């Protein structure tokens, strides 16, 4: 991605909530817009739309946790399982690309004004805007609120391997890096709802049931999509083109079956 290794971008990415008080430069806006239009493809649903917009009317209330940002990335998708997985996958691809060209971001699933963005995105009744992100230049010194949110969500922490992977993790270096990339994914309130179970042919992905519910959609399907983006991009970078497979597999006690890969 822009000559940078996806795995390195994934390892370095973190949410930024304190920005320089200026919009995205015209050059960066054009680079981003070009990348978006060429990279909306994903394994789940292909009618996503993503825009970069200036904050001509306040999109994120000033009492929110984001300071200084003037440009935002926002998009829409269908409010279905595939639509939400796709949104997580594609939006995270954009976020990693932003990193590769020095633009900072922060996934925001709440506290943005839907009515302004709904108009800009010409939202239809079966579509939603699951999340947005500021796109801007990180300020060196983080605000107190920024530090407080990070501390509250324990943002620097991730679950240990054995909490996410229910059996022995494959030592094969291709899988190992892809699983580590999945483990490093951002998630709403840092809940990390992913569970992975592998058998000889297939990696099975499950979602912890009902950890967070919001506004009539399951934001943790977006989290799943983000994790699939990390996993898939690293597998591809290593030259492995696997297939995503909708298998008829039952849920287990507290985990819901999402998809297989092999």
Residues at the contact surface with ligand FMN, assessed by CB under 6 A:
14-15, 65, 106-111, 131, 149, 153, 155, 186-190, 219, 222-223, 226
Half-sphere exposure of 73 (CA within 13 A, CB side): 29
Give the residue carrying structure tokens 């009618």: 47
The secondary structure of 29-78 as a DSSP string is HHHHHHHHHH----SS-S--EEEEEE-SS-SS-TTSS-BS--EEEEEEEE
> What is the number of other CB atoms lying within 10 angstroms of the CB of residue 162?
10
Q: Quick one: which of 91, 129, 130 has its CA closest to 13?
A: 91
Residues 44, 87: Cα–Cα separation, whole Å? 9
The answer to whether 252 and 199 are in contact (CB under 8 A) is: no
**CB of 198 or CB of 227, closer to ligand FMN:** 227
Least separation in angstroms between CB 250 and ligand FMN: 27
**CB of 187 or CB of 198, closer to ligand FMN:** 187
**CB of 117 or CB of 226, closer to ligand FMN:** 226
**CB of 118 or CB of 155, closer to ligand FMN:** 155
Least separation in angstroms between CB 146 and ligand FMN: 9
**CB of 190 or CB of 202, closer to ligand FMN:** 190
Least separation in angstroms between CB 226 and ligand FMN: 6
**CB of 16 or CB of 32, closer to ligand FMN:** 16
Least separation in angstroms between CB 212 and ligand FMN: 9
The secondary structure of 80-110 as a DSSP string is SHHHHHHHHHHHHHHHHHHHHTT-B---BSS
**CB of 106 or CB of 117, closer to ligand FMN:** 106
Least separation in angstroms between CB 225 and ligand FMN: 9
Strands (E), 129-254: 132-134, 194-198, 203-208, 244-245
Least separation in angstroms between CB 112 and ligand FMN: 8
* Residue 71: C-alpha distances to residues 22, 65, 85, 97, 151 (Å): 8, 15, 25, 16, 25
Least separation in angstroms between CB 48 and ligand FMN: 15
């Amino acid at each position: 991605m822009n000559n940078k290794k996806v795995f390195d971008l994934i390892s370095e990415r973190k949410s930024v909530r304190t920005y320089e008080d200026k919009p995205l430069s015209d050059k960066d806006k054009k680079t981003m817009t070009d990348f978006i239009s060429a990279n909306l493809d994903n394994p789940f649903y292909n009618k996503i739309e993503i825009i970069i917009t200036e904050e001509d009317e306040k999109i994120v209330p000033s009492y929110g946790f984001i300071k200084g940002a003037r440009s935002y990335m926002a998009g829409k998708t269908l409010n279905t399982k595939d639509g939400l997985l796709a949104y997580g996958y594609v939006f995270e691809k954009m976020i990693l690309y932003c990193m590769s060209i020095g633009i900072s971001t922060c996934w925001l699933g709440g506290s943005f004004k839907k009515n302004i963005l709904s108009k800009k995105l010409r939202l239809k009744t079966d579509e939603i805007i699951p999340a947005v992100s500021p796109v801007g230049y990180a300020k060196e010194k983080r605000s107190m609120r920024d530090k407080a949110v990070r501390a509250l969500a324990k943002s620097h922490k991730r679950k240990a391997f054995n909490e996410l992977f229910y059996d022995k993790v494959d030592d094969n270096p291709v899988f190992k890096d892809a699983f580590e990339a999945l483990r490093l994914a951002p998630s709403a309130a840092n809940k990390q709802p992913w569970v992975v179970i592998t058998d000889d042919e297939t990696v099975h992905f499950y979602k912890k049931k009902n950890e967070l519910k919001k506004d009539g959609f399951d934001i943790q399907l977006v989290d799943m999509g983000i994790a699939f983006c990390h996993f898939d991009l690293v597998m591809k970078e290593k030259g492995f083109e696997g297939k995503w497979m909708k298998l008829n597999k039952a849920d287990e006690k507290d985990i819901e079956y999402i998809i297989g890969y092999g």
